[in-house]
Structure 1
Amino acid sequence: MKKLFYFLIAASFLFSACNLPGSGSPSPSVATAAALTVQAALDDPSPLASPTAANNSSGASTSAASSNPFASFEDVTNCRTGPGVNYELVTQIQPGFSVEIVGYYPPSHWLVSTDAGPCWVAGEFVTPSGSVSAIPTVTAPPTPKANAPENVSLQKWDIFCDYATNEADVTLSWSDKEDETGYRVVRNDVVIAELSANTTQFKEKITLLSGQTAGYSIIAYNTAGSNSSKTIVLGC
């Protein structure tokens, strides 16, 4: 199209020159210029660019970007150096934020890219979007060596004795520890309850006659070991 356009312009110019009043034929310079213009148009190998080429390229890029897999979150979510609570915390992803998913670790962890670096989130907290099927499966880093929780520190203990029924209401409170799997409540050297991680209180009603006592302690434990609070003695 470009070549034809230049050819028509040159031909038109030549034709006009031929029909100028008082002129039987175009001047040599005009004819030469027109011929050179036509020849240049015919010799030009450059194709005419499509007027939608730039738009098509931009659209393809946008489509590719929109298909990237992303993870969004409804709650504050811990992102760690590996797939599990035994790994160190890297950052916390806030609700409403989205981060790119770069890997999957079966059965339920995602490796994501954040401003703090790549880290792992549990799948139960993630809403994935985009081309999830294209996400590569990755290998988890070695599990860090765990340490047993520090000794539990009892913060408060209460006992209410009902002498009419010989029953006592016991309440124990303590500060939460790091990296514990759970807690065990010990009464008179016998484990009487298993509690989940992050628990900080235990209550029970026991039979306790006037003059009797009961000794309590709290054990924090994980796969590496356990540690116990001091034993407190309560009586009616």
Structure 2
Amino acid sequence: MKITRRIFFALCTLIFAALACNLPQANQSTSEPTQEPATTEESVTFNIDEALTLAVQTIQAATLTAVVPTETVTPGPSPTPPSTAPTVSVSSDTNCRTGPNVAYQFVTLFKVGQTANVVGKYTPNNYWIIEYPGGFGATCWLWGAYATVLGETAGLPEGVPPPLPPTATPAPSAPEAPKQLNLACTSVNKSKKVGQIWILAWEWTVEFTWSDQSTNENGFYVYKDGVLLTTLGPDNESYTDVFTQTLIIGDVSYTYGVQSYNDDGASALKDATLSSCP
């Protein structure tokens, strides 16, 4: 508004100045005026037109400048703050594996005092899928028994366990030899008189026991004094030998042995010796 008033006053001043050029001079001579050249009137008229044109151009420029609208900036929506992934820590050092089971390969030991981002879960086995420290974004499966998770976990995806690694087939081998051999004996007097002759005899019952050390045996060979006494099936750990001992003169001893066997061979023979029977 102030700019328009200034322009208006400037225009009026220019117009008044132009008109004043056409007014008679106060000290003009009364004698017959000498005829002025035609170019004088044209010059005055040209100056008036030029002044008016300049004034109009000034007003137009000012008007264009004054009416330029101001751009209105409409604020956009506020940016959504980035979501924070839940984190996990443990109260006891815990193995982190390639899947939710001890059958999966070990990846790293997640220690007390460490934290990691949780990116998934496996509810059936209570496992968390984490980005383990030092893995540069790689993940492993952490058992949740000692884990404490901070943050929202409802939206975490349920993990799909990878296939179990193939179980290594053990190389064929003979079974392990039995251990902890033991002999226990009881006797019953079976002596009797036949006519005028006494036949002295005792019935011995020998309990031969051992501890099975293998899981791949087909059975056991049981020996007495180096001679095969019997063959037993797998998982046996004892044999009872009952026999009659006739007249005993001097010391008598018996050696019992046992070995396990399978299609790939037999174990070492283990034995124990019995020297008396109460």
Normalised-by-shorter TM-score class: 0.3 to 0.5
Which one has a bigger Cα radius of gyration?
Answer: 2
